[in-house]
Structure 1
Amino acid sequence: MTRILQVVGHAAGGIGVHVADLSAGLRAAGDAVRVVVPAATAGRFDLGDAGSGGVDTRAWPVRSSPQAYARGLARLRRVVRASDVVHAHGHQAGLTALLAAAGTGVPVVVSWHNAILARRGPGALAERWQARRAALVTGASQDLVDRAAALGARRSELAPVAAPAAGRFDGDRAAARAVVRRALRERGESGADPATDPATEPASDDGEVWILTVSRIAPQKDLGVLVEAARLVQREGAATAVRWFVVGDGDAPLRAELERAAEGLPFHLVGAREDVPAWMAAADVLVVPSRWEARALVVQEALAAGLPVVATDVGGLPELVTGCGSLVPVGHAPAIAAAVTHLVTHPERRADLAARARERFAQLPTSADVVSAWRERYASLAPAKR
């Protein structure tokens, strides 16, 4: 049995899903897993049983004051000393874990799930320090692995992340669209515009092509470009009706700005949803306009659902999308509009890419594969503890 300490910072998306899935798999395999995490993140994800010591929110250093942070690091150091290996997820957690583990002899793995786009300043310095101090740096996409190696990491590896929610909708396209219409009808009761809400339309909407984006509302996701693309598609006036959905919440002022920009368009910001697999099954195309992504879980889920993907040519997206979708330049609304229009007007192409998407997903690592790979990495590091 290996005593594994998982350290997670403030997370709202893929990192939390991954750590919950990995921790559950490790526990099932007989390892002792403790997760140190901020209280807000612990409340979002099923990271383990707090009562049995599986989740520890007190050992996460709080930055309310230098004194409080120092006390938190001291608590975390005690937890580190009781572990065989520490696995930190993300830059914030990586920096915190390495500070707490300094001088203990306990090996620290840092998994990078996101890129630090700035090449100067405190963030870049912290990135370099992590790369050089960690026993192992893993990247969720190859560009992160290459970045760690360039910064002087003694060992860097690709560590793909599985998509545990992929393919979980139990029903056909008609059932999925009924779920979406019902959700939008409920939303309409709280102020949706009936003129553009498909919940007010007849159930026979199979002629429409539905474009889906699942994303936090944040600057990195570049959703303003998505609105521009939707307006360009509408301006073209294709014979087939097109409707756009964005599932996810986040920055409230940015959401308000997007709503203003999308006025008059069949474009729906529907907020966070727990039934994303149903929206995947109801849609025809997934669009990812982000400025940067690793091997995004949402893209893996779309592949499992047989959705063609239009995504920006950045990070780990080409590793997933090539052969089963279209890659477009960052920030280029006309390119997104052209790719979407092509798929809207060529249903046979959508069908071909849907089959290719499912084939691609079948080649990706499963949760069991990911757990097995991590157990091997931990075993290779734990003997170096002292």
Structure 2
Amino acid sequence: IHPNRNKLPEYNLDLFEKMLEGHYGEGEAVLRVKTDLGYTDKSLVDWVAFRIIDTDKYPHPMVGSKFIVWPTYNFASAVDDHLMGVTHIIRGKEHLQNTMKQKHLYEHMGWRQPVAIHLGRLRLEEFIMSKSQIKKILKESAGAYSGPNDPRFGTIMGLRERGITAEAIRNVILTVGAKQTDASISFTNLAAENRKIIDPTSPRLIFVEDPVELVVDNGNGVCLEAKIPYHPEKTELGSRQFNVCTGDRVMISRADYEQALSEKEGEVRLMELGNYIIEGGKFRLLSRDLQYAREKGLSIVQWLKKDGSKIAILSVPLGESIVIKGGYIEDGGKMQVLLGKNVQLIRVGFAVLKSAIPFASLVFSHE
């Protein structure tokens, strides 16, 4: 118990005036609210209402160093709520003690106390959501993170950065419901809700990771045409057409290339183009019959012509890391229109296109 606790109000008011006049430095004096010493929770006993801040060192963004004595959260918010006529307060259950502290002010001043509703926190599993932890990470790992909007963080900005819509977040919150206990949701569930929302409007783009480049052999001077829709069901999103002639250079992912060689004797179906066999550094056309591919169990793989494609970097948030996947993406004139929007990379997953010049940069959302 501080010896000043039982001093006359006039004595403590005199000390408070000295605080205001700058007789004390930061950390040398505080003003406390006198409460009940019998509280089991000692944080409620004589809690701090005002403290000194060295505003020469930490200036206030609006008034600079004009004042040095500042109210704490509980004193300031109680007064603010009263002045603004707040009737109901909805906040996390970690504020239960704060409600008790603020109750002292309302009772002493004869103010009507707002109704306080305390709810549990909704946590996104395997994501960093603590503001203090995020602040510490950004301070200690400068340059490794882009800021509070880094897609590895569970912040609203971070989720937006990786293409999670506000509607998906709202729907998940409404599904879980308001509870007094803490709750956790998995990113898988959030992604499933997001997928339902963005799937109908996300154009399908071709991305070839870690490409293997081969020369096409359709036969002597033969050119084939492949028409690929931007969405299998939404015809209003349009389509694009690729003309592939003998001698053109076509890319598929290294994973698809190696699988075709190891499992299908080099045979593979290039999406909407035809069935090919890999031999001698070439794609040699076997047929265009889709039934042939089905009977042989060939993988239907995405592909790109080397000409007309753009280098692409896909950043995949994975825990506290970012996995970088390099490759090529189609460049059919839609890039500028799709900046900042959700797209679906065929056989890869959903992503957000962040930039298109000088290369395409995307952030992976989810499958």
Q: Shorter-chain TM-score category? A: under 0.3
TM-score normalised by L of structure 2: 0.21
TM-score of the pair, normalised by structure 1: 0.20
Larger Rg: 2
Structure 1 or 2: more helix by fraction: 1
Which of 1 and 2 has higher RCO (CA within 8 Å, sep 6+)?
1
